[in-house]
């Protein structure tokens, strides 16, 4: 049943991400990816709030725990999950792990985008 709640939350989160991104882009067109930026920040706010409340009020597995932070917020903004994991590492005193996670995610992430783009061009015959 947990997969149902994750899928339902994920579908709603993906739709919310698309809708908000489109709305922001049409309202304030610019080169800066404002829609994605606002989605990532609001996702960070939401995941921090929701996980804290769920941990305090509903410890253990529940439909809300699957549907909201994993499904909805996960599809809405994976950046928020990355930031929550970084926060937990810092809060736990694992500063080196947090720094390695941030640095490697940014640098390797850019590298993998470059690699994927390069391979995509090769496959497309460009």
Taking the model in full, what pTM does it have? 0.77
Whether the per-residue pLDDT at 26 is higher than 90: the answer is yes
Closest alpha carbon to 51 in 72, 37, 36, 35:
72
pLDDT tens digits for range 53-108: 998 988 888 999 999 999 999 999 989 889 999 999 999 999 999 999 999 999 99
Q: pLDDT tens, 40-68?
A: 999 999 999 999 999 898 888 899 999 99
Find the mean pLDDT for residues 19-26: 95
Q: What is the pLDDT of residue 113?
A: 86
Q: How far apart are CA 45 and CA 27, in angstroms?
A: 22
d(CA 6, CA 74): 9
């Amino acid at each position: 049943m947990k997969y149902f709640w994750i899928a339902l939350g994920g579908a709603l989160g993906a739709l919310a991400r698309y809708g908000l991104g489109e709305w922001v882009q049409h309202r304030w067109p610019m080169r800066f990816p404002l829609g994605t930026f606002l989605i990532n920040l609001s996702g960070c706010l939401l995941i921090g709030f929701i996980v804290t409340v769920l941990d305090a009020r509903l410890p253990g597995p529940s439909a809300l725990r699957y549907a909201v932070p994993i499904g909805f917020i996960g599809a809405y903004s994976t950046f928020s999950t990355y930031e929550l994991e970084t926060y937990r590492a810092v809060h736990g005193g694992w500063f080196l792990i947090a720094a390695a996670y941030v640095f490697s995610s940014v640098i390797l992430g850019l590298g993998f985008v470059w690699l994927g783009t390069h391979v995509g061009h090769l496959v497309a015959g460009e």
